[in-house]
Structure 1
Amino acid sequence: MFVPPLKPTFRLLAVFLCVLTCFASKARQQPVSLADRRELFVDGHLIDSLNGASLRMHAPVDEGEVLPFDLPWEGAFSAYVTILQDGDTFKAYYRGVPTAGKDGNSAEVTCYAESTDGIHWQKPHLGIHEVGGDTNNNVILANEAPITHNFSPFIDTNPAAKPDERYKALGGTQKSGLVAFTSPDGIHWKRLQKEPVFRQGVFDSQNVSFWSESENRYVCYFRSWTGKGYQGFRSVSRTTSGDFIHWTEPEPMGFGNTPYEHLYTQQTSPYFRAPHIYLAIGARFMPNRKVVSDEEAKKLGVNPKYYNDCSDAILMSSRGGTRYYRQFMESFIRPGIGLQNWVSRSNYPALNLVQTGPAEMSLYVNQDYAQPSAHLLRYSMRLDGLASLSAGYAGGEMLTRPLTFTGNRLELNFATSAAGEVRIELLDASGNKLPGYSLEECRPLIGNEISKVVYWNNNADVSELSGKEIRMRVLLSDADLFSFRFYASAD
């Protein structure tokens, strides 16, 4: 049979379809490598499809005031808190300044508090710096303006880090650039070098840095603007370094298709149970969105310049590079009851989540800014509990993208109702059932557990699938799945 040659238009279409097929085939050959990492549901990175299920953000629980800013050198404008957990000791760092002034003014100091449980805090008398004629204070940096405006430290987990530089920090404004400090203990600090290590930013809020285990480099997220100078929206840019001294050209962070909002702080840091996922629990600022009247402000004792705006906390995440996943546009922490929570620059989250119980983690938020009652508030959540894969009573399911893992067990962090359940099915890359790991063979998971191993009949061993390309199908009914992890067990 004679087949006429294709017309040019159809030939182009055929070539396009061929190329498209090749790209699709190539994509199928590159599964997501999980290794033994824990995965959260703060983004849709692993999800291929959802049917009757959705990602749900969870609200932290208000646990009340834990740290008043009540010393003479602290006061109403204390801010930019960093919380670190070093072994059995929790450490808090924050700006102290009792009266409003220009960013980086000489009255600003960096204060320190510590705790054995993350709940009850003390302010030690360090005797390092003289403030107000006395060294009997909790100040770790003084007379270092403008570094003390937004000094933000981290514990350096770089295997090559020197013991006497185990703690590192950046601080400064646009005028000074970001200046690097180091410390062996987090209390006694010195400059890494006289000159700033990075100048290409605005820096007029808390600028955060850390050693990235997954990217094998130092990363800094800092304040920038979407427009030139101070025009447009307060936003975020990023730079990286191999030695904490020489930094790359800055790159603006992208937010996908979500709209721009003013992000006063972003507080990006590796999640301590899944450090390849960076959580960003930042402050969303709503300029000129006034809630408190002039008369109400007087009753509260709010500084006159600080009640024309309002703010709350938002949740984002990143897996490195220049992209944030903003899965949820809704507020992560809404301002509390009472007008004192609706003044400018209140509700600003501190940097870092820390574990404060076997099943609990805590985050901290500045409250009552520019008021005599300024303090730090603690919120609690279950471990990994920022967001979940969730389904109601009618049930729902998720199918993952193709993935590989290492290990011999699958562990879930989940919660169900008395009537609910979670079941897991492991499939091959094409979506076909794998004998021994089918839905019908999976024991239903019922209860509320931080760590529960999945069984198919009497078997929990998934080692025969380790390194192979699979998909995971999750079925839920009246349940939440907060995280999962393939890992190696000696049992």
Structure 2
Amino acid sequence: MIEWQDFSSPYEIGNRRELFPDDFLTWRRNGVGLRLHEPSAHPPEKTQPVGYYMTMLQRDGKIHCYYRSDFGKFTGADSPYSVKPGFIGEYTAYAQSTYGIKFLSPPLFLHDCGVPDVLLCMRPGVHNFVPFYDENPNCPADERYKAVAGVSDQGGLFGFASPDPIHFRQIGTSPLIPARPEWGYCMDSQNVAFWSEAEQCYVCYFRINTLPSGEKARTVCRVTSRDFRHWSEPEYPQLNYPGENLYVSLLAPYPRAKHFYIGTPTRYFEDRGSATDIALIFSRAGGEFIRPGNGTAWIKPGPDAERWKNRSNYLAYNIVQTSPEEMSLYHAKSGVRYTLRTDGFVSLSAGMETGEWISKVIKFDGGTLEFNLSTSAGGSFQVELQTPDGKPIPGYSLEEHVLFYGDRISYVPEWNSACRAPLVPGTALRIRCVMRDCDLYSVCFNKTT
């Protein structure tokens, strides 16, 4: 049995959806563990783009895909198409999809460089252009789409803006986030930025070459901004396990629970032939990083020898909702699409021996209690609402709950009770779940149900 001290004031859950990457919401669990779920791989779809530093933006019924491609040739020592002299000519390519399965690359004809699907082909945007849709309600209409790109020997990270997903312009001539000598050669990676609804500011995570301890290794640095122009002093979160290099963070607010930032960093092991794999990380609105599975890989290279080479395991930035029940993640180099149950990263999991989970005290603020869960044919799930001191709230006891077995993304519990009164907003309570052969992925009080 695991039990946490519970002396703090009630947690104001509001209508936030809570996932279970750790025991943040737990007061007690007995016979229930935290189970990390691996995504399922699907064969490559021939129309899916392949390249480096890929980004998927799901907006307005379309999935916009941005990725780094190259001209297949050296374009000259002074070419604006190269990230730096002596490198092959690169560009940012664009494709789109309606359902996230089949993609097309529309001819854009934005640049006179001989390739029709080129979105950007000039420094500093060619190497690692990463756009995002700006959800800041005060964002100017002509900057609704923004991006960051650049590497340290170009000066740092530059900003870009556009009124639409296509027509980006550079913001000024100087980097928004200048590189610092103590970071070493840095930012030559998929650096990410977004508007945080939870923190009410812009957040940028970018790669540096120095750990908080001063040791040299690839890791992540964080800065924030109120206006996307002026950025804070850097923060150096502790993320790496011993011996790890992390090439990208790919952190973004999870659309169904925006106070969670979820990332899929690529782990790089230089002393093992530069082999790579993919991890899973969480942060609650910029708080400490959570590594489910005690830092183990989330997506392993597998039996394909090509996946054991350097630069061969990067996911596209952002999770795409390809159906109400399914999320998709895209392997940028191979074209493999991975799928995962909606909210299905980590579950509270019980086996055939009945287990129990009880939440810390939370403050009910209205809405309908809703769970995302799955049982086996022989499994079951029951729920009870309790007072803070652990007594059943009349009408919401375990005995009155209608036993559930099945699989629902949105399960609303039912109680058979003639005396059950509606919960009053402001009520402090606990949630008690009794589970058998069952996985519980998320819980919320949904005000839109």
Provide TM-score, normalisation by structure 2: 0.90
Amino acid paired to 1:126 = L
Change (3 A) 1:99 1:43: farther
2:191 and 2:262 map into 1 onto residues whose CA distance is 15
Task: Give the structure 2 partner of residue 301 of structure 1.
Answer: none
Q: Tell me which protein shows more helix as a share of its residues.
A: 1
1:33 aligns with 12
Shift of 1:227: 4.3
Q: CA deviation at 1:445?
A: 1.7
CA distance in 1 between partners of 2:209 and 2:287 (Å):
15
- How far apart, in 1, do the equivalents of 2:57 and 2:225 lie? 22
On the 8 A contact 1:410/1:462 being kept in 2, the answer is no
Query: Does structure 1 retain, via aligned residues, the 8 Å contact 2:394–2:419?
Result: no
Answering whether residue 266 of structure 2 is matched by residue 283 of structure 1, we say yes
In structure 1, the residue matched to 2:357 is 398
CA separation of 1:283/1:100 partners in 2, compared to 1, >3 Å: closer, same or farther?
A: farther
Determine if contact 1:251/1:322 at 8 Å carries over to the other structure.
no
Helix, strand or coil at the partner of 2:122: coil
Instruction: Return the offset for 1:32.
Output: 1.5
When structure 1 is superposed on structure 2, of 357-366 and 454-463 the one drifting more is 454-463
Residue 469 of structure 1: aligned partner? 428
Matching residue within 309, 314, 317 for 1:343: 309
**1:437: Cα distance to partner?**
1.5
Seq. identity, %: 40
Question: Higher mean Cα deviation, 159-168 or 393-402?
Answer: 393-402
Larger radius of gyration: 1
**Counterpart check, 1:364 vs 2:325:** no
Contact 1:58–1:385 (CA under 8 A) maintained in structure 2: yes
Structure 2 residue aligned with 1:269: 252
C-alpha contact 1:272 1:354 (8 A) present in aligned 2: no
Please report how far the alpha carbon of residue 91 of structure 1 lies from its aligned counterpart in structure 2 after TM superposition: 0.6
Q: Say whether the 8 Å CA contact 1:254–1:322 is kept in structure 2.
A: no
Q: Show CA shifts across 1:259-282 (max 9, x none).
A: 462111110001111111111111
Counterpart CA distance in 2 for 1:252 and 1:461 is 50
Question: Structure 2: how far apart are the matches of 1:270 and 1:39?
Answer: 13
1:160 and 2:138 equivalent?
Answer: yes
Q: Per the alignment, do residues 255 and 470 of structure 1 end up closer, same or farther by CA in structure 2, a change over 3 Å counting?
A: farther
For 1:350 and 1:109, the matched residues in 2 are separated by 17
Q: Which runs of 5+ in 1 are unaligned?
A: 1-23, 290-307, 368-374
For 2:73 and 2:36, locate their aligned partners in 1 and report how far apart those are by CA, in whole Å: 36
Structure 2 unpaired stretches of 5+:
75-81
1:124 equivalent in structure 2: 106
Q: Could you tell me whether the CA contact under 8 Å between 2:47 and 2:104 is conserved in 1?
A: no
Question: TM-score, with normalisation over the residues of structure 1?
Answer: 0.82
* Aligned pairs (5 A) from 1:311-390: 311-328=276-293, 329-367=295-333, 375-390=334-349
Structure 1: distance between partners of 2:194 and 2:419: 37
Compared CA separation, residues 156 and 181, structure 1 to 2 (3 A): same
> In 2, Cα distance between the equivalents of 1:312 and 1:452?
35
Asked if 2 retains the 8 angstrom alpha-carbon contact of 1:318 and 1:325, the reply is yes
Q: CA deviation at 1:470?
A: 1.4
Structure 1 position 84 matched with structure 2 position 67: no
* 2:91 is equivalent to residue 109 of structure 1: yes
Map 1:233-272 → 2, pairs under 5 A: 233-255=217-239, 259=242, 261-272=244-255
Counting matched residue pairs gives 429
Q: Which residue of 2 aligns with 1:20?
A: none
1:367-422, CA deviations, whole angstroms, 9 ceiling, x for partnerless residues?
3xxxxxxx432111111111111010112121211111322421111110111011
Match of residue 274 from structure 2: 309
> Is the counterpart of residue 58 in structure 1 residue 37 in structure 2?
yes
Aligned residues of 2:212 and 2:238 also touching (Cα < 8 A): no
1:139 shift after superposition: 0.7
- 2:208 matched to 1:224? yes
| Aligned partners of 1:335 and 1:347 also within 8 Å | yes
